[in-house]
């Protein structure tokens, strides 16, 4: 069976790749791989789209991220070590999202979103922790640092890579010694950034455009590898005995088997603003009738339209009840009202929401649907199967 590519970057990795994730999925399927990971820098971007692409190809999707770790949140230092985190199950994915949210807070962010070393040590077994590339703390920290062995012991796998450069060769040998000392398995990572040699050339152009330079990257081969190509690369590198790198390659599938596949819930999802759907529905009804009376009293809505608005709003509120859209309408009303009060320009209307009398009453739109005789059912009706725009 083919190995599993898990350390993988697409064009969503902070402008560090020119390859679409779909290109990798197509390669994995053609080469008989049973799973594929995604480890964009910092944030697990577009994971739903990636999961759907993998589902369509019959491949297990392993959601993850190459996260940044710092030894000091205060004072802030730009150490920003790399570590690969992969969600082992649904609980792990929720934990991963919580870590990402934490990493973006102002007390954590410094050039990149980061978590602290202590927070890394508190990550549960629901997340698979892999030591990543030469930017790993296991390569950058002094081995006498007390945090070095704490972090090494918390990793599930120690990542060796095939790049035929002196630093990687020495690091692979170091990881082999560490693996024997603490009993942590090696795993073969590729740190793939390009789906082909051509896309690697495109990435070089992108790096020049960004005036971005990664010291020591010369000689690194970040192009997608078949299993035979990966084996050959480790052989040419000569850092590890054959039995060691073959086991590290096999461990990519051991890791993939540890990950529980999951199904996407594709049913419509709307926000809940006041604790429950029932509370949102009650709130929307209250502000609709209150704001309708205010607009009638102020002459914003002509008195001759009062009966039409009362009838249509009642029907719309029932439709929102049936489609569970009350929280959505409330959120739009509050966002647009905040924009108005903050002096942020907004348009009078967009799309089919122009057919909603409730939208007009609650200040979501400026277009009067009764005056222009627009159609509500284009925006929402009980038979609607897709989310409102």
**Each residue of 117-161: pLDDT tens digit?**
999 999 999 999 999 999 999 999 999 999 999 999 999 999 999
pLDDT at 216 over 60: no
> Are residues 104 and 36 both part of a single domain?
yes
> Are residues 290 and 222 both part of a single domain?
no
More confident residue, 372 or 381: 372
Q: What is the reported pLDDT for 218?
A: 66
Using 50, 70 and 90 to split pLDDT, how confident is the model at 388? low
Q: CA distances (Å), 130 to each of 151, 228, 260, in order?
A: 10, 23, 17
User: What is the distance, to the nearest Å, from the Cα of residue 172 to the centroid of all Cα atoms in its chain?
Assistant: 30
> Are residues 48 and 184 both part of a single domain?
yes
Hey, what are 366's tokens?
């400026």
Q: What is the reported pLDDT for 40?
A: 97
User: In whole angstroms, what is the distance from residue 386 CA to residue 389 CA?
Assistant: 9
Using 50, 70 and 90 to split pLDDT, how confident is the model at 381? confident
> Are residues 122 and 215 both part of a single domain?
yes
**Domain count of the fold of the chain:** 2
State the average pLDDT over residues 267-277.
89
Q: What is the reported pLDDT for 211?
A: 72
Q: Is residue 130 within 8 Å of residue 83, measured between CB atoms?
A: yes
In a domain, 12, yes or no: no
**pLDDT digit string (tens) for 334-360?**
999 999 999 999 999 989 999 999 999
> Are residues 250 and 318 both part of a single domain?
no
User: In whole angstroms, what is the distance from residue 180 CA to residue 186 CA?
Assistant: 10
Q: CA distances (Å), 298 to each of 302, 306, 307, 338, 374, in order?
A: 9, 12, 16, 21, 23
In a domain, 263, yes or no: no
Q: What is the reported pLDDT for 134?
A: 96
In a domain, 387, yes or no: no
pLDDT at 207 over 90: no
CATH code: domain of residue 230: 3.20.20.140
pLDDT at 328 over 80: yes
Hey, what are 335's tokens?
């966002």
User: In whole angstroms, what is the distance from residue 246 CA to residue 244 CA?
Assistant: 5
In a domain, 267, yes or no: no
Q: What is the reported pLDDT for 316?
A: 96
Q: Which residues, 6 or more positions from 109, have their beta carbon under 8 angstroms from its beta carbon?
A: 103
> Are residues 281 and 252 both part of a single domain?
no
State the average pLDDT over residues 375-387.
81
State the average pLDDT over residues 254-275.
91
State the average pLDDT over residues 285-312.
97
More confident residue, 15 or 41: 41
**pLDDT digit string (tens) for 63-108?**
999 999 999 999 999 999 999 999 999 999 999 999 999 999 999 9
Q: What is the reported pLDDT for 52?
A: 96
> Are residues 211 and 328 both part of a single domain?
no
Using 50, 70 and 90 to split pLDDT, how confident is the model at 386? low
pLDDT at 31 over 60: yes
The mean of the pLDDT values for the chain is 94
More confident residue, 363 or 267: 363
Q: Which of 224, 258, 292 is the last residue of a domain?
A: 258
> Are residues 230 and 186 both part of a single domain?
yes
> Are residues 252 and 303 both part of a single domain?
no
CB-CB neighbours of 263 under 10 Å:
8
In a domain, 265, yes or no: no
> Are residues 238 and 130 both part of a single domain?
yes
Q: CA distances (Å), 81 to each of 68, 132, 147, 252, in order?
A: 5, 9, 13, 22
pLDDT at 219 over 80: no
Percent of the chain with pLDDT over 70: 96
What domain range is 166 assigned to? Answer: 21-258
Q: Which of 365, 45, 62 is nearest to 189 (CA)?
A: 62
In a domain, 132, yes or no: yes
């Amino acid at each position: 069976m083919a190995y599993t590519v898990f350390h993988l970057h697409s064009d969503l990795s902070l402008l560090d790749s020119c390859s679409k994730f779909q290109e990798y999925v197509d390669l994995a399927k053609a080469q008989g791989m049973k799973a594929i990971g995604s480890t964009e820098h910092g944030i697990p971007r577009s994971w739903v789209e990636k999961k759907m692409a993998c589902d369509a190809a019959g491949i297990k999707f392993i959601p993850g991220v190459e996260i940044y770790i710092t030894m000091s949140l205060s004072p802030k230092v730009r150490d920003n070590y790399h570590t690969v985190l992969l969600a082992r199950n649904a609980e792990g994915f929720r934990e991963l999202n919580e870590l990402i949210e934490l990493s973006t807070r102002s007390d954590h962010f410094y050039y990149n979103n980061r978590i602290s070393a202590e927070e890394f040590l508190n990550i549960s077994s629901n997340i698979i922790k892999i030591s990543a590339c030469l930017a790993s703390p296991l390569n950058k920290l002094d081995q006498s640092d007390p945090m070095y062995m704490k972090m090494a012991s918390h990793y599930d796998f120690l990542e060796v890579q095939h790049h035929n450069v002196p630093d990687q060769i020495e690091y692979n040998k170091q990881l082999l010694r560490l693996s024997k000392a603490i009993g942590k398995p090696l795993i073969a990572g590729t740190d793939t950034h390009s789906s082909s040699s051509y896309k690697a050339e495109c990435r070089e152009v992108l790096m020049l455009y960004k005036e971005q330079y990664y010291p020591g990257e010369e000689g690194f081969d970040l192009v997608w590898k078949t299993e035979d190509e990966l084996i050959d690369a480790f052989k040419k590198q000569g850092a590890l005995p054959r039995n060691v790198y073959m086991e590290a390659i096999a461990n990519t599938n051991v890791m993939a088997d540890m990950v529980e596949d999951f199904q996407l819930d594709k049913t419509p999802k709307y926000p809940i603003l006041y604790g429950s759907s029932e509370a949102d529905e009650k709130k929307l009804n209250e502000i609709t009738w209150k704001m309708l009376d205010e607009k009638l009293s102020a002459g914003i809505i002509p008195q001759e339209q009062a009966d039409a608005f009362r009838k249509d709003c009642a029907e719309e509120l029932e439709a929102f009840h049936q489609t569970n859209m009350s929280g959505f309408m409330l959120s739009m009303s509050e966002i647009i009202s905040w924009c108005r009060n903050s002096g942020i320009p907004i348009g009078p209307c967009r799309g089919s929401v122009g057919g909603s009398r409730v939208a007009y009453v609650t200040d979501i739109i400026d277009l009067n649907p009764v005056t222009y005789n627009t159609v509500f059912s284009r925006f929402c009706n009980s038979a609607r199967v897709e989310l409102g725009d």
